[in-house]
Amino acid sequence: MKTAAMLQTYPAEINVDRELLVRVIDTLVTCSQACTACADACLSEDMVADLRKCIRSNLDCADSCATTAAILSRHTGYDANVARAHLQACIAACRACGDECESHAGMHEHCRICAEACRACEQACTELLDAIA
């Protein structure tokens, strides 16, 4: 990722801890890719019928993380209300997907790894939400 390098070149002020911001964006991007891959891996499992809810929460979480990463990658005309509301939404998506994936973690390694990515993302977003509250 080039997140830190790009952030350093932003030509105006940023009123957030930059190290934290980079970590959150990278965690969001990682979680979005993991969720897209987990949805697809679940779809190829023999027991796909038992993984419907998991696939659905994967798809939601992938979309939510991608949108939140994009919003946090923009600093021009920063609006704290918009950032906060999307962090909260993303935390809800990560929690739902983390819970669902965790319940299959013993059986499916992709769910175990994806649950880890969701937990890390939920925690990183919560840290940033506290920092900009």
Chain positions contacting a second copy, by CB under 8 A: 1-3, 5-12, 25, 29-30, 33-34, 36-41, 43-46, 48-49, 52-57, 59-60, 62-64, 66-67, 69-71, 73-77, 79, 81-82, 84-86, 88-89, 91-93, 95-96, 100, 108-110, 113-114, 116-117
DSSP readout, 75-112? -TT--HHHHHHHHHHHHHHHHHHHHHHHTTTTT-HHHH
Q: How far is the CB of 23 from a second copy (least distance, A)?
A: 13
Q: CB nearer to a second copy: give 74 or 131.
A: 74
Q: How far is the CB of 19 from a second copy (least distance, A)?
A: 16
Rounded to 10 degrees, what is the CA torsion of 106, 110, 67, 127?
A: 50
Count of helices and strands (H, E) across the chain:
5, 0
Element housing 55 (H / E): helix 52-72
Q: CB nearer to a second copy: give 10 or 130.
A: 10
5-9 — which CB contacts under 8 Å span 24+ positions?
6/73
Q: How far is the CB of 34 from a second copy (least distance, A)?
A: 5
Q: How far is the CB of 131 from a second copy (least distance, A)?
A: 18
